[in-house]
Amino acid sequence: MTVKVRGDSMEVDYSGTDRQPLGNCGTAWIEATRCIIGAKFIVDPNSPVNSGTLRPIEALLPPGSAVCVLPPSSCSNHNDMGGRVVNMMTTAMSMAQDERAIACDTGTAASMFIGGIDNRPGMEGQPWAAFGLPGGGWGGTWEGDGLSFCIHSLGNCRSTVCEHVERENPLVVWQHEMMTDSCGAGKHRGGSGAILTMHCLSDTAITLSGDRARSGAPGVLGGGPGMPFYAWLIDDFDPNVAIDPFDLSGATPLLGVFDEDGIPDPDAGKFGQGARFESSKLPQIFLKPGEAIRVIIGGGGGWGDPLERDPELVLRDVDEGLHSIDFASRAYGVEIADGVVDDEATAAKRRELTEARTEGKWQVPTAAPTNWTKGS
């Protein structure tokens, strides 16, 4: 994307975009005009969108490219492209107006299309279908921290209503909550991502579409990236032992960045290593009764240098479960002991990290927990 301001108008040129893909990750002309959302975020975030809002912006879309597919390509998965267009626009404008920069969001946030034929006693032969939307995080901005637990800016809802899913379908949602250490570090951190664990009571087919699986949402102005997207299949699900998201025993990796031992490691691991798939677009995953699927959607990118974040705000994030004490030290240089900030140790840690960064030996780590276990 190349953005040019011409008088009172703006030209958004997609001429560098790749050719349309063989799969369904493309969009028609209307979705690529979503760039107006990114412009409004920075220039005029408060007024409603109407025809007058659209008039000053012109988009140049190469036919046959990923942003303007031609038959026979499908654009059914247009959310991926539309969300990236918004992020590209905010990134481009952040380069020109860094004092009003916005970090990237999670992206598609794991759309889950779920269905099957019910085989529970008394429900045999009944077709059913559900839609799962775990929710992710938005990027930090010049004004404050990013929003948590919501879908990207193309949508009009926040997340799935678990009670409705369970009432209408042979599914049990055991876990739907914010994910610790998922939001990108920054002076203004990104919004937190989510974790969803769903247990099947009948034969189930799930199509899963997520974004930012190879690397998390990038930060701006020195902010760190959010956690990438992960998914696992859990055999013989027992909520008494499998509800802990950090215990990977009995969990088969479906997608993500892992080290050689199967532990999530977004900075030093390899995408798809030990996982069943090397894609975040998974059609028709079949689950039997008693099996479960778990997805983790990372948070938004951070805004600004995390070593400049108020230590008391970092402490608040730790108290609220958004960050661990370990990540507070590694990413923010904030040392917490006995529930309070150790000012002297924090100052020393931040000097150490600043010096290491100057020497090229440290950079803001990608948001991710480090307390994973694989059981006995």
For residues 69 and 140, give the distance between their C-alpha atoms in angstroms, rounded to a whole number: 32
Convert the pLDDT of each residue in 337-355 to its tens digit.
999 999 999 999 999 999 9
What are residue 51's phi and psi, to 5 degrees?
-65, -30
The whole-number pLDDT of residue 81 equals 82
339 DSSP assignment: T
Question: What is the distance, to the nearest Å, from the Cα of residue 55 to the centroid of all Cα atoms in its chain?
Answer: 31
50 CB neighbour count, 10 Å cutoff = 8
Segments making up each domain of the chain, as ranges: 2-100, 104-376
Angstrom CA distances, 108 to 5, 35, 198, 297, stand at: 29, 16, 19, 9
The dihedral through the CA atoms of 153, 158, 164, 165 has a sign that is: positive
Q: Which of 14, 8, 193 is nearest to 104 (CA)?
A: 193
Convert the pLDDT of each residue in 263-301 to its tens digit.
999 999 999 999 999 988 888 899 999 999 999 999 999
Q: What end-to-end distance do the CA atoms of the chain give, in Å?
A: 50
Q: Which of 323, 305, 293 is nearest to 182 (CA)?
A: 323
Q: How many residues does the structure list for the chain?
A: 376
The whole-number pLDDT of residue 369 equals 95
Dig out the tokens for 282 from the structure: 């998974």
Record the pTM. Answer: 0.92
Strands 257-258 and 171-178: unpaired
pLDDT tens sequence for the chain (376 residues): 899 998 989 999 999 999 998 877 788 877 767 778 888 888 888 888 888 888 888 889 899 998 888 888 877 777 788 888 888 888 888 888 878 889 999 988 788 889 999 988 888 899 999 888 888 899 999 999 999 988 877 766 666 788 888 888 999 999 999 999 999 999 999 999 999 999 999 999 999 988 899 999 999 999 999 999 999 999 988 888 778 889 998 899 999 999 999 999 999 999 999 999 998 888 889 999 999 999 999 999 999 999 999 999 999 999 999 999 999 999 999 999 999 999 999 999 999 999 999 999 999 999 999 999 986 5
Q: Which of 157, 178, 307 is nearest to 245 (CA)?
A: 178
The dihedral through the CA atoms of 185, 300, 337, 319 has a sign that is: positive
Convert the pLDDT of each residue in 165-198 to its tens digit.
888 899 999 999 999 999 999 999 999 999 999 9
For residues 185 and 179, give the distance between their C-alpha atoms in angstroms, rounded to a whole number: 14
For residue 114, the SS3 value is strand
Q: Which residue has the tokens 């055999």?
A: 235
For residue 88, the SS3 value is helix
108 close to 229: Cβ distance less than 8 angstroms: no
